[in-house]
Amino acid sequence: MRKKGEKLTALILVFSLVVLSADLNAAIRKGVNITISKTNGEEVSGELVTVKKDSLLLLDLETKTDISVNLDVIDVITVNNKSLMFEMGMGAFLLAGAARLSLHSTLEKGQEKEEATEHQVQDVWLWGAIGAGVGVLAGSVFGIDKSIRIQGESDADIQDALEKLSKKARVRGIQ
């Protein structure tokens, strides 16, 4: 009976560590990297810390200093998305190859084992290559930088854009 109690205690400790560590990870959350083009032609880049009602707060990644930029001097905000080509290409390669592998055993049960294996390997590689091509294409599309025009837009459009942008900041929500 004692071993059962010890296992239960260990399980509760492990579970509480996993649950409590999730809160710690939230404090480490990073914002998206953006580039701000000002109306005077200057450009400012950094990690988006928070979106305020009348400004954006950035963290300059080189100097580790905060930069506040007022909305009235911003022309365009460019969200620098990370390319997902490699991740999506590899994922699609594995999924397409696994799909063909599972279909192969169903479709070619009557063939001899050695012949089916050679054909199976060729088909898996072919399907994997096709899947990788589709994944790389999709990853490049999802990784395209997005631009938000501020100068000359209506207040409602600017607020909608800022609400969407605030979801990608280190501190979420408009402050």
Please state the pTM of the whole predicted model.
Answer: 0.57
Same domain? 91 vs 134: yes
Same domain? 136 vs 165: no
- C-alpha count within 13 angstroms, C-beta hemisphere, residue 161: 20
Residue 111 has pLDDT above 60, yes or no: no
Same domain? 90 vs 67: no
Eight-state DSSP code of residue 174: B
Same domain? 105 vs 137: yes
Q: In this predicted model, what pLDDT tens digit does every residue of 6-37 receive, in sequence order?
A: 666 666 766 666 666 655 544 567 888 888 88
Same domain? 24 vs 35: no
Where does the pLDDT of residue 72 fall: very low under 50, low under 70, confident under 90, or very high at 90 and above? confident
Average pLDDT of the residues in 145-165: 81
The alpha carbon torsion through 111, 115, 120, 123 (nearest 10 deg) reads: -110
Give the chain's domain count: 3
Query: Which residues are CB-contacts of 38 (< 8 A; sequence separation ≥ 6)?
Result: 44, 69, 73, 74, 75
Where does the pLDDT of residue 154 fall: very low under 50, low under 70, confident under 90, or very high at 90 and above? confident
User: For position 166, which CATH number holds?
Assistant: 2.30.30.100
The pLDDT, as a whole number, for residue 26 is 47
Report which residue type is found at 55: S
The pLDDT, as a whole number, for residue 107 is 57
Average pLDDT of the residues in 77-92: 79
Same domain? 133 vs 89: yes
Same domain? 35 vs 21: no
Residues counted in the chain: 175
Higher-scoring residue by pLDDT: 16, 171: 171
Q: Containing domain of residue 11, as a range?
A: 1-28
Residue 68 has pLDDT above 70, yes or no: yes
Where does the pLDDT of residue 142 fall: very low under 50, low under 70, confident under 90, or very high at 90 and above? confident
If you average pLDDT over each of 89-103, 105-119, 158-172, which comes out highest? 158-172
Residue-averaged pLDDT of the chain = 76
End-to-end alpha carbon distance in the chain: 54
Whether residue 74 contacts residue 40, with contact meaning beta carbons closer than 8 Å, is answered with no
CA–CA separation, 143 and 87 (whole Å): 11
CA–CA separation, 40 and 18 (whole Å): 49
Residue 63 has pLDDT above 60, yes or no: yes
The pLDDT, as a whole number, for residue 145 is 60
Whether residue 101 contacts residue 128, with contact meaning beta carbons closer than 8 Å, is answered with no
Q: What is the percent of the chain with per-residue pLDDT over 90, rounded to a whole number?
A: 0
Same domain? 35 vs 24: no
